[in-house]
Amino acid sequence: MTTWDTIATGYDRTNTPSQMWLGNEGLRRAGLRPGMRFLDVAAGSGALSLPAARLGARVLATDLSPAMLELLARRAGDEELSIETRVMDGHALELEDDSFDMAGSQFGVMLFPDMPRGIAEMARVVVPGGRVLVTAYADPHAIEFLGVFVEAVQAAVPSFEGPPMDPLPLPFQLHDPDRLHQVLADAGLEAVEVETITERTEFRSGEHLWDWLLHSNPIVDTILAELELSEEQRDVVRDAAVRVGPTVLTAPINIGIGTR
């Protein structure tokens, strides 16, 4: 079982509902239209696939995690949407060249150990004139939920300075808009555009915030495990985060689009 299988239920509860608006933003900018063949790479439980299907696209959602795809299929069924799912490694897509009108990845390919290869694979499977959409976190220092987490950990471990930034953790390897632009161009894409927008996530309570921090990605739990915190220290961290209470936190997001 992969890490993503393990966190799939929590991720589906926290991340997917809060990120569908972002899926719409990317698809709108990329020009997705009804009837287009759309590929979602590292789809998770559907924050990009579901908006694409709602827009009338014919969607194939791929991911390494069967658990994620099962949850995606359940969401699609609840909305009576037709989305095909296939377990697949985005580094080596088991798909023919020129198979899709558009390929997208939201908070997916940015996590790949060989991210340029993942983007090159997306470019390979779109038709000439087709588009590739990549959505990734921008400047980590401006991501407010990360700042909240760091401060919460410091309540238990005052010396904690946050996740190491040299080298950058995989989730932030596309934080620089110029880097995203270059990787898309290196994949043979033309008319590349990268826009940085602001994501706003509303938290109803401190408990909601902590649940989202812990389950919306594997980063937080990984850091807590690496710190080898006692149960008492973990409770201190949780309590510090919960005390933030109802809030709205922002994060800069890079949306990159290129045409084959």
pTM higher than 0.85 = yes
Per-residue pLDDT, averaged over 183-187, amounts to 98
Q: Which domains does the chain have, with CATH numbers?
A: 3-259 (3.40.50.150)
Instruction: Report residue 213's pLDDT band, with 50, 70 and 90 as the boundaries.
Output: very high
Percent of the chain with pLDDT strictly greater than 90 = 86
d(CA 176, CA 254): 8
Task: Give the integer Cα–Cα distance in Å for 40 and 32.
Answer: 13
Share of the chain above pLDDT 70, in %: 99
- Specify the amino acid at residue 235: D
pLDDT at residue number 219: 74
169 secondary structure, DSSP code: P
Q: How many CB atoms lie within 10 A of CB 145?
A: 21
Where residue 179 falls among pLDDT bands split at 50, 70, 90?
Answer: very high
Mean pLDDT for the stretch of residues 113-122: 98
Residue 225 pLDDT: 81
Q: Which of 139, 149, 135 is nearest to 210 (CA)?
A: 149
